Structures are given as C-alpha cells and as structure tokens.
Structure 1
Amino acid sequence: MITYLQNLSFWDWLALATLLLILEVFGAGGYLLWIGLVAVAVGALTYLFPDLPWVWQFLLFGALAMLSALLWWRHQQRARKLSN
C-alpha cells in the first residue's frame, strides 16, 4: 500500500474527483461537488509538481476539503436565513 501511495499521480486524483462527482449526482447536497473540485485541484498541483510527496498531497486535500465543506455549510446557512 505504501508503494502505491508513494507513486500517486494526477490520474489518481482525477479518478477520485470523478468518483466524487458521480456520487454527488445521487444527492449529497453539494458537499461532494466541492470536495471533488478539491481533488481536481490537488491533481493539477500533482501534475505541475510531480515530486510532491504523497503526505503533502493528502494534507493539502484534507485541509482544502475541510475548508470547502465549511464554506459550503456557511453558504447554506446564509441561504436558509434569507429564505425565512
């Protein structure tokens, strides 16, 4: 498993993004959309910086995914307040 992680490429991140976006179609409320876009962003960074260690890739993905989920949640809360 560690060998696979050490050789992650941008294709792996794009595959994850595709999976997340497909799952979003089934009604995740928007969260998987943004996390899928984060996976695309990490894939793009992995393409631009192919020597980026897998630990940094996962840390970046985790931090950006949490940030995007928080921002989406705040957006949803504001939209609910405006609709009431």
Structure 2
Amino acid sequence: MITYLQHLSFWDWVALATLLLILEVFGAGGYLLWIGLVAVVVGALTYLFPELPWAWQFLLFGTLALLSALLWWRHQHRTSRARN
C-alpha cells in the first residue's frame, strides 16, 4: 500500500475527482462538487510538481477540502437566513 501511495500521479486525483463529481449528481447538496474540484486542484499541482510527496498531497487535499466545505456551509447558511 505504501508503494502505491509513494507513486500517486495526477491521474489518481483526476479519478477521485470524477468519482466525487458523479456522486454529486445523486444529490450531496454541493459538498462533493467542491471537494471534487479540490481533487482536480491537487491533481493539477501533482502534474506541475511530480515530486510532491504523497503526504503533502493528502495534507493539501484535506486542508482544501475542509476549507471548501466550511465556505460552502457558510454560503448555504447565509442563503437560508436571507430567505427567512
């Protein structure tokens, strides 16, 4: 398993993004859309910097995914307050 992680390529991130975006179609409320786009961003960074260690890739993905989920939640919360 560790060998696979050490050789992650941008195609792995693109595949994850595709899976997340397909799951978003089934109604996740927008969260998987943004996390899928984060996977695309990490994939692009992996393409530009192929020697980026897998631990940094996961750290970047986790941080950006949390940030995007919090920003989406904040946007949804403001929208629901404006409607009431």
Normalising by structure 1, what TM-score? 1.00
- Correspondence list, 1:52-63, <5 A: 52-63=52-63
Structure 2: stretches of 5+ with no match in the other structure:
none
Structure 1: stretches of 5+ with no match in the other structure:
none
Are 1:4 and 2:14 an aligned pair? Answer: no
What is the RMSD of the two structures over their aligned residues, measured on CA atoms? Answer: 0.2
Q: Report the equivalent of 1:23.
A: 23
**CA offsets 1:14-41 (integer angstroms, 9 cap, x no match):** 0000000000000000000000000000
Normalising by structure 2, what TM-score? 1.00
Are 1:70 and 2:45 an aligned pair? Answer: no
4+ residue stretches of structure 1 with deviation over 2 A?
none
Q: Report the equivalent of 1:81.
A: 81
- Report SS of the residue matched to 1:74: helix
Q: In the TM superposition, what is the alpha-carbon distance from 1:47 to its structure 2 partner? A: 0.2
